[in-house]
Amino acid sequence: MTLYRFAFDHLATRTDPERAHHVGFGAIRGARLPLRALDGLDRHRRSPAPVSALGLTFPHPLGLAAGFDKNAVGIDALAALGFGHVEIGTVTGEPQPGNPRPRLFRLPADRAIVNRMGFNNEGAEVVARRLAARARGRTPGTGPVLGVNIGKSKVVPEAEASRDYDKSARLLAPYADYLVVNVSSPNTPGLRDLQAVEKLEPLLRTVRTAADEATSGRTSPVPLLVKIAPDLSDDDVEAVADLALALGLDGVIATNTTIRRDGLRSDPALVEQAGAGGLSGPPVRDRALEVLCLLHDRAGDRLTLVAVGGITTPEDARARLDAGATLLQAYTAFVYEGPLWPRRLVRDLARTPGGVPA
């Protein structure tokens, strides 16, 4: 057991999860010492191979999933921990406070998290200004691959969702290495209804047009992906894959959090206390892998598949790569395992049979 895990299990679990997140994230952003020096395990270990995907070069497959850095305030600090790409957001067209607190809960027996944050963020205009300032202060091509995840503002009716996504895409696509349309969070009323193909198709066409117009000076379009829920039926997963291919999307992120609660080890009273929201971590692992397999069986290598949901160990990561994922993302394991975990996982993955694909 690592020192971080001991401290987390015996101390951090007594702290309000959202407060702990803000304190921990603040510490990461304020760190001055290179965290590689703190690890002491990098020497004489095999280095991961770069990964080519989405027309980009990733230093390795593992990235940080959306939800941790909603407002683009710690991109480079998070990359310093060992993430090869960082996906910010979810960012909405309008600023919003999110759902009432408490809205973030731990289930330690399952190493899981329940959240009903509700896309709390400062809005696309503020985030775009922050990304513009970051771009002015750096050499092009340096830093981690940056993903930007966009979603629907709560105050915007479902019938006007395309307008809201259009606004975010136009403001944020110029700073994104890739753009993600999130239609799968369970915490915004009506959002998951947009996963239905008849609603998803016009929405994705709108975002594609907006992103292309906002980045017309680029040599190639910004890659566009859609993030889906593990709770879709198998038929609906395959329909999304078919739609992504038909529209020429670049990839699919599988998967978001789940609304299911079956198979948990946690005390039912604790689960009931956590209440509604998206469940992440090991409990979603098996279904996330199933969805990944369905997508790959349907699309083969014509889509870049990004696997997320319950990835904790090198074996978890290897299973996703073997099932057809090109890239991996994590969030919950990072919370439970600590700031040295990303680098450790990538290093250990490079030592597993099959290594890290180039």
Which residues share a beta bridge with 228?
254
- Residues in the chain, how many? 358
Compute the distance between CA of residue 306 and CA of residue 84 in angstroms, rounded to an integer: 13
Compute the distance between CA of residue 12 and CA of residue 45 in angstroms, rounded to an integer: 31
- Confirm or deny that 187 is annotated as ligand binding: yes
Question: Quick one: which of 282, 284, 329 has its CA closest to 308?
Answer: 329
- Confirm or deny that 257 is annotated as ligand binding: yes
Question: Quick one: which of 339, 342, 340 has its CA closest to 311?
Answer: 342
Marked catalytic residue, from 184, 185, 266, 280: 185
- Confirm or deny that 123 is annotated as ligand binding: no
- Confirm or deny that 332 is annotated as ligand binding: yes
- Confirm or deny that 67 is annotated as ligand binding: yes
Strand spans (E) along the chain: 51-53, 56-58, 62-64, 85-92, 104-107, 112-115, 145-151, 178-182, 224-228, 251-254, 278-280, 304-308, 327-330
Using DSSP, state whether 225 is helix, strand or coil. Answer: strand
Q: What is the token pair recorded at 259?
A: 């609304």
- Confirm or deny that 227 is annotated as ligand binding: yes
- Confirm or deny that 219 is annotated as ligand binding: no
- Confirm or deny that 310 is annotated as ligand binding: yes
CA 237, 241, 242, 243 torsion: positive or negative?
positive
Compute the distance between CA of residue 288 and CA of residue 300 in angstroms, rounded to an integer: 17
Residue type, 148: V
- Confirm or deny that 117 is annotated as ligand binding: yes
Q: Provide the b/e sequence for 1-16 (b: ≥16 CB within 10 Å).
A: eeeeeeebeeebeeee
69's CB contacts (< 8 A; 6+ apart) are: 25, 75, 78, 86, 88
- Confirm or deny that 2 is annotated as ligand binding: no
- Confirm or deny that 318 is annotated as ligand binding: no
- Confirm or deny that 68 is annotated as ligand binding: yes
- Confirm or deny that 1 is annotated as ligand binding: no
185 is catalytic: yes
- Confirm or deny that 71 is annotated as ligand binding: no
Which residues share a beta bridge with 307?
254, 328
- Confirm or deny that 212 is annotated as ligand binding: no
Q: Give the alpha-carbon dihedral of 220, 221, 222, 227, to 10 degrees.
A: -130
- Confirm or deny that 336 is annotated as ligand binding: no
- Confirm or deny that 25 is annotated as ligand binding: no
- Residue 202 CB neighbours (<10 A): 12
Compute the distance between CA of residue 321 and CA of residue 140 in angstroms, rounded to an integer: 30
Residues serving a catalytic function are 185
The binding site comprises 66-70, 90, 115-119, 149, 182, 187, 227, 255-257, 281, 310, 331-332
The binding site for FMN comprises 66-70, 90, 149, 182, 227, 255, 281, 310, 331-332
The binding site for substrate comprises 70, 115-119, 182, 187, 256-257
